Structure 1
């Protein structure tokens, strides 16, 4: 629950009564309906900046009027009752029932807290997966936007698969990754996440099993689980040692698909070799196991270009390739793409039209301009790689200084992340909360794998060097205290 309200200390009305009246207003106008769980006394006091005793007094009055109910040591919530500000025959919808019984599961608790805390301007984001605002191409974006010749097509819906101009530009762009795809085999989506939603809804049945490298970004989402599908974790280290585990797991679980991030894997930053890529493609084709290749980090190489995309070895139409502009140009642009066989792209395009009637025409026009103005694009990517190299080296230096006896890690060759392995396990919740109290936000490994208590995903892409070092020093101090 978020509150933008604060009591007025200049008001002659006692603060506890201001809090009481605020809560009554929220309930009166249906913003906090029956079943709404209120913040604890201590939490609400922190949120509005008062003593806990002030909140206790407000809650007690609300309870005496039969508006809320609280049990010692448990939650306080709005209850279904009538009292003087409501008509006695009022019928109040229990929205809490609808929320709890809806199809989609809520985000993991860690993810909910991260999504909320990331927008606190005082937070140091030590695990976030995006570029620093200082690395976003603001100047170039202004020039791109100003150069657009706005016409009616930019203000209308695009065709089901997306802007033909953009799809033609992408068809040329991905040739550099070894992928040959006609514009008709490309679907424009609103970011990579929508691609997964469309694939889940359009190609898979309830009770389907999807093989996923473990750890994996996909485990941080409840997308497939909400559609009654199961993610089967395939340990990444075992896959790299023996690819035949894919066949074994496919047969054991009757899996329908394999999801992989073969280039600068999230969260480990690992990349498969070219030979391993050929093995994966060949094996999955031989056992008729379709793949989703998530390749959103490909262009963020630091030391040397990665091997060709899996899709470049696919001559049977067995791979759905997902790319995005979010990691390079702008997460706010909300543009991604899916490459696949004709009938699959037709199916996903039809489903997308039912879902949102197409990705923003303006955003598509902007990305098209970026790809057309190749010098702007290549200059920006070059600048990002150089800056990421400096940031990576700085973070590795900090880890050597503060974590040499606490953890181990592998120096990444691209992307945003370092997968830190602690020498001793520590409660992810305890570590997360202790750091959050100090305005430091981390991504515990438990987000990306079931047994992630010894891992953290660190990111060097977002924060300044000063903030990175401060946060890592604080992190090391807490780990020493708790292990």
Structure 2
């Protein structure tokens, strides 16, 4: 209902209210708007259809007269009949109740708004966590697929753990990070999010508690909540997650595991120090609490390589390591991996086969060739140089326009700057005001329900011109809001 593209033809001989009434009636009669579907307010419909509100009133009156919709004070206007209920004696299925009772929780409202706004090509996207289309290797991808080598392309289903050739290649690639993992201990997945989903339904009991950094990317997706899990945040400092309370919280809440993004954390950009990584490994081993290490940003360092992943210092099989090509090579490839003990990997592989019968064989083939050919390292070098330029450019804008209204740290890699607002302005109101002006933000409450003073600023997606235009306008918006 929120994405109505149709508009009445003002040059038509058919009255506007009749065109609108006929359009809405067709939606109802075809079953696209089922019984219980809420019709947007008259003011919103008038704006979408670009007509006077009186025109909408007449159109809705016709639908009411036909017995298709009903208006009630306090609950708005809803569909009450359609073809089936008008022609048949049996009650049609109430799809709205099915939608509400589905076990997978819907995105929080603001995430749904962000996802919708990202489809608008004219939107300045200051929070989007992916590479700009200008930075993606479209031409080189064609070259990769045309390269001749001994590896033949198979378009059939792969084995449960994924392409053996790719797993061997990933095994060699992980050794450059200090991780020793045989192909048998690697599962190819369709990106980092699927890795989390497989873990949530394949390894954990309903009602389990997941510890994580606060704020956390986990709060922006409902993969664990939909599997009946509880999330519990642990504070961060400049060195990463604080370890002192992990043991106590594990015992008090019977925590099942800990999720962390130690390298260029999402959303804060924090880089966990080597000392803190060793401390975290030690604490979790002592408390017998497994770790999910999300390392999808690990390759995107600027000046100096980050410390080795937690997995590199895991001597007891305590860490499940997640890697992905979505943030570095292409989000469209949908290829990542989980590294862990073989019994765990075999369990997750079995679950994966039950859900999608394996990740795209073509994407696996492409990633294998990128890594084997050395072109990935070359492309990564270029990408990091461009991201560093964008980071530095963004920092200069912040220094010029945000010094009096916010504080921030300079990230050493990744995509994000965590902006702390000093003005007391509501980030939800700021989100709405910016959106009306064509600027898309990611406010802090996406990552922590109670956070109303942070914005996640991404320099990876918007162009330089868009970054400057969007941030300068945002600064003015914040200053004006704080004065009111």
TM-score range, shorter chain: over 0.9
Distance 1:423 1:157, change over 3 A: same
Q: Decide which moves more: 288-297 or 248-257.
A: 248-257
SS in structure 1 of the partner of residue 245 of structure 2: helix
Query: Aligned Cα RMSD in Å?
Result: 1.8
Native 8 Å contact 1:412 1:418 kept in 2: yes
Residues 226-305 of structure 1: pairs in structure 2 closer than 5 A: 226-237=226-237, 240=240, 242-305=242-305
Separation of aligned partners in 2, 1:102 and 1:318: 33
Give 1:148 deviation, angstroms: 6.4
Are positions 1:24 and 2:32 aligned together?
A: no
Distance 1:424 1:34, change over 3 A: same
Give 1:5 deviation, angstroms: 1.4
Q: Decide which moves more: 192-201 or 65-74.
A: 65-74
SS in structure 2 of the partner of residue 212 of structure 1: strand
Separation of aligned partners in 2, 1:159 and 1:5: 45
TM-score by length of 1: 0.96
The aligned counterpart of 1:11 is 12
Give 1:153 deviation, angstroms: 5.6
Give 1:150 deviation, angstroms: 11
Native 8 Å contact 1:239 1:245 kept in 2: no
Moved over 6 A (4+): 148-152
Deviations 1:324-376 (A, max 9, x none): 000011001111100000000000000000011111111111111111111x2
Which structure 2 residue ranges, 5 or more long, are not aligned?
none
Separation of aligned partners in 2, 1:316 and 1:62: 67
Give 1:129 deviation, angstroms: 0.2
Give 1:220 deviation, angstroms: 0.6
Native 8 Å contact 1:7 1:48 kept in 2: yes
Separation of aligned partners in 2, 1:127 and 1:315: 37
Deviations 1:371-423 (A, max 9, x none): 1111x211110111111111001111111111110000001110010000000
SS in structure 1 of the partner of residue 162 of structure 2: coil
Deviations 1:162-218 (A, max 9, x none): 000100000001111110100010000011000000000000000100001000111
SS in structure 2 of the partner of residue 323 of structure 1: strand
The aligned counterpart of 1:112 is 112
The aligned counterpart of 2:412 is 413
Deviations 1:410-449 (A, max 9, x none): 0111001000000022223211111111010000000001
Deviations 1:236-267 (A, max 9, x none): 13985852211121112110100000000000
Distance 1:262 1:414, change over 3 A: same
Q: Decide which moves more: 138-147 or 361-370.
A: 138-147
TM-score by length of 2: 0.96
Q: Decide which moves more: 231-240 or 357-366.
A: 231-240
Distance 1:150 1:332, change over 3 A: farther
Deviations 1:289-329 (A, max 9, x none): 00000000001111211000000000100000000000011
Give 1:51 deviation, angstroms: 2.5
Q: Decide which moves more: 224-233 or 291-300.
A: 224-233
Native 8 Å contact 1:421 1:455 kept in 2: yes
Separation of aligned partners in 2, 1:148 and 1:51: 62
Distance 1:204 1:70, change over 3 A: same
SS in structure 1 of the partner of residue 320 of structure 2: strand
The aligned counterpart of 1:195 is 195
Distance 1:91 1:258, change over 3 A: same
Aligned length: 481
Which structure 1 residue ranges, 5 or more long, are not aligned?
none
Give 1:71 deviation, angstroms: 2.9
Separation of aligned partners in 2, 1:189 and 1:398: 38
Separation of aligned partners in 1, 2:111 and 2:410: 26
The aligned counterpart of 1:78 is 79
Separation of aligned partners in 2, 1:4 and 1:211: 42
Residues 52-451 of structure 1: pairs in structure 2 closer than 5 A: 52-72=53-73, 74-80=75-81, 86-89=86-89, 91-147=91-147, 154-237=154-237, 240=240, 242-374=242-374, 376-451=375-450
